[in-house]
A and B are shown apart, each in its own frame.
Chain A
């Protein structure tokens, strides 16, 4: 079954994720039957300036040129540098990127992020949020992410911007996934991606039960075998699996004018 990985990364700019050349990404995708990988290079700690953000996105752009049609790019920005962030989104979209990536610099509902939502709505592109629900603030601080957003934060933002296409990143990314799923039950414009290292039995099934297969997007976030394996093991119909692997994300991309062949 054809697959679009909606949550992946590449090496580039100032960032190295733990493999060498990005040929390894393509090699991994080939071995697991993944056709397209939507990739970003976020800054994962602190508040980066516009120059560092640009370097990250230049790394993604380089990968999209090198692996044309296989690697699709998200434009990562720090909403705290508002004018630079909006200009950076324009620069990246003009070079063929397909969405916006936000990390943990601000909570999803923070007014600082409002202009980014408005820009993404204008462009009809999705916003992929790094996310996770940790047990308490102390745990979030311990992992260096005091402003990490969870499903509750996503739903709050989605109520303010019902036209936005918000992707709650990596339900298997290591937080309380039951919380993450329940929180977006009544937020129809929040999609959920399946990526992350957690491959708990019951996780994908609960997501389908609570929000429906139409809002679930296949992703790996670098957990390649686990990413495919957990969708394979979920109790989905063939039609549901096809939506999760392919057509849900293909539909999102199409709204922004990007047609996957």
Chain B
């Protein structure tokens, strides 16, 4: 089953009031926040972040090894993100076979990154983007509506504790692919938690980067990030 269908199935079993809330947030994000997301052609912001094992990971060291796939997820508490991470794990051998590296990051702190990596059995780097400092530079951060924080708290998810911050900021689910020159070849973010880049498409994109190396969509910095990926990118997916 592709990721989109898996996420749709997860969405359907949530209570209606909760999915309504998610839909309202997604609509607003896709009308406003999406414009600030870095687009293909931009230079990828470099980062230094702790991984699940408590070691520092440098983006420039990863880029020196090959193309870099950077995924943003909301946190280990989010079932849609967990399903996405598991789906990414399934294609990890194919990503590595393209000479690329995969990392995923969320603003979770206090050992939650480690717990997520262990519970999902992930073999790629999971990074703690403390205070969303990296996500802000990718333009994917949004302030969580108080109504949503309250809803999560009613499910036992205390964002204040997980993020280590009284102000609740989260990244939109997003995925970027940078070439070894540090330029983004692919950028996709969506406020809809069920709309993410298909893992199989990541492998296809890496293959195309490897074969012809010019940035997608071109050197003119024409943006790819949008609420709906352009038709060409969709075909590739």
Q: Do A and B come from one complex?
A: no
